[in-house]
Amino acid sequence: MLPLLVSVPHAGLRVPAEVEALCALTPAEIAEDGDGGAAEIYAIEDQVGAFVTTDVARAVVDMNRASDDIRPDGVVKTHTCWNVPVWHRPLSQAETGGLLDAYHRPYHQRLTELGRSGDWVLGVDCHTMAAKGPPVGPDPGTERPWVCLSNGDGTCPPEWIESLQQCFQRHLDGPVKVNDPFRGGYITRFHAAEMPWIQIELSRAPYLPDDGKRQVVLAALRDWAQRHT
């Protein structure tokens, strides 16, 4: 069992019943805004000490945003990362607050509870990313590396993320970058007050099937844990 706390916040596809009639997105648009393949790639719950995920779609409630992030691509979005409107009409303050209370706050309360337990060496926030940057993002139209590891706000010691980069490079022939194009999101920044965190982004480019990507993730995390525990 690896001494890791793993978070997978963007694998969900469900629109909660209380806002389902208001959602303007097709199932395909919901999937395109989320982390395609994440449910399969990060199906490692039985290999790690603690595992937190959600079935709620990123397009509806983004667990990797602050609760007061009101940008179009914020915590309760008005538009997807592909700039597609999410709702038939703007949500009321009560509707937005209800989504945060029901889904966002419990997710982070669970991460805080686990992070403060002292049982895990590292938190790993796990994502997939579009092979090229979408319109709403730091790198529109740019080809992305196979793996991006992030600790941009000092969410873990620099030697830890450099070590994890080496571990991934042992198992992949493609580029593994640090803090490029992503420097880490809300989950790693906020919960780094409780324990060290690294964000992992795997490109959705078809360099391996999802099962193969899962094996790479597990191999890299095992190698890292052997070095640091």
Residue-wise pLDDT for 60-87, tens only, equals 999 999 999 999 999 999 999 999 999 9
High-pLDDT (> 90) share of the chain, %: 95
pLDDT at 114 over 80: yes
pLDDT at 88 over 90: yes
- Whether CATH 3.30.565.10 fits 2-228: no
Whole-number pLDDT of residue 153: 82
**Token digits for 131?**
């092979």
Per-residue pLDDT tens for 33-44? 999 999 999 999
Domain ranges of the chain: 2-228
Closest CA to 153 of 188, 121, 122: 188
High-pLDDT (> 70) share of the chain, %: 100
Q: Tell the residue number behind the tokens 């019943």, with chain if given.
A: 17
Is-contact 127 150, C-beta < 8 A?
A: no
Beta bridge partners of 201: 127, 148
pLDDT, mean over the chain: 97
Closest CA to 4 of 124, 156, 148: 124
Which is higher by pLDDT, 229 or 165?
Answer: 165
Instruction: Give, in order, the Cα–Cα distances in Å from 202 to each of 47, 65, 89, 107.
Output: 19, 19, 34, 22
Phi and psi dihedrals of 121, rounded to 5?
Answer: -80, -35
In the predicted model, what is the mean pLDDT of residues 97-120? 98
Whole-number pLDDT of residue 136: 77
Per-residue pLDDT tens for 115-174? 999 999 999 999 999 999 988 778 998 999 999 999 998 999 999 999 999 999 999 999
pTM, 2 dp: 0.96
